[in-house]
Structure 1
Amino acid sequence: MPRAIIVALCIVLAAAAARAEEVDCVTTEWKLLGANHKVCVYAFEDPDFPCITCYLSQARTGGISGTVGLAEDPSEFSLECRQMCPVTLPEKLPKSKKVFSEGTSALFKDTQITRLYDAKRRTLVYLAISRKIIAGSPKNAISTVVVR
């Protein structure tokens, strides 16, 4: 398969997987040309538990490359998840499931949030990581929701 088709497919899939709603962004560094560097906050619901909302803050690269979508955003983020209404857990829940993915560069890098289930403590654990096709980043964020 030609490289251009693979790149286009990856971009389309990354865009389709992102289901977050932007809450707002705050400028962290002013740029003379292009967009400013910023930190943006996004909200998304767990696809299996719409009563659980997660908030993800993530650094966004500005400048000319950021403006045209060619910059690679840093692997810097924070995550907080909250239960907004009663949640009923099914009898069988997968030990882990990817619940969110968003591209953070034009090529082969994304932020993923995986939901882990700690059955002993009836706790949903949300883990945010940055992934690349070749190598990821050890930077991560975690949030938990205890289901009562």
Structure 2
Amino acid sequence: MTIKKLLIVASVALVSFSLQAEEIGSVDTVFKLFGPDHKIVVEAFDDPDVTNVTCYLSRAKTGGIKGGLGLAEDTSDSAISCQQVGPVTLSDKIMQGKSNGEVVFRKRTSLVFKKLQVVRFYDKTRNALIYLSYSDKVVDGSPKNALSAVPIIPWGGK
């Protein structure tokens, strides 16, 4: 397979992951005379393997002419908050730790290489799901990251 075909396949895979997020809103942070302003975007996505867990991501989105054309590289800044929004039942695969460290969300933040990713871990001792968001581009020796924990609690008095 040629490099061009590999890049096309990788781009299609990345787009399919990024379609899971729903934009909730945004705020402008820097005015740009030409093209869209720099923003902080808030998006929501549901864990594809755990029903009733929703994560909210805030991330920087670069504006300007390059940003408007999709050619700019967004900064590595992001935050995450995940919540249980209904009764949660974990699969045996998750409870046994076989899907520990599984990528549940990925969004392209530059034209080719940089991505914002969310990885899910299960803490069996505390019966909690841990969601780690990080940029896969190394910044000053380590990737920027954020963490959210969701304790699995009975829902509706059950």
Same fold, TM-score > 0.5, yes or no: yes
1:87-102 to 2 correspondences below 5 Å: 87-93=88-94, 94-102=99-107
Aligned-residue offset at 1:2: 4.0
**Equivalent residue for 1:126, pick from 122, 127, 131:** 131
Where do 5+ consecutive residues of structure 1 fail to align?
none
Equivalent position of 1:22 in the other structure: 23
Q: Hey, what's the Cα distance between the residues in 2 that align with 1:44 and 1:20?
A: 5
> What are the equivalent positions in structure 2 for 1:41-120 lying under 5 Å apart?
41-93=42-94, 94-120=99-125
* Secondary structure of 1:121's aligned partner: coil
TM-score (normalised: structure 2): 0.86
Large movers: runs of 4+ above 4 Å = none
Q: What residue identity is the alignment partner of 1:71? A: A
The two structures have a TM-score, normalised by structure 1, of 0.92
C-alpha displacement of 1:5 = 3.1
Q: CA RMSD in A?
A: 1.5
- Structure 2: gaps of 5 or more residues: 154-158
Aligned length: 146
Higher share in strand: 1
8 Å CA contact 1:10, 1:107 repeated in 2: no
Query: What is the aligned-residue identity percentage?
Result: 45
Distance 2:17 2:91 in 1: 24
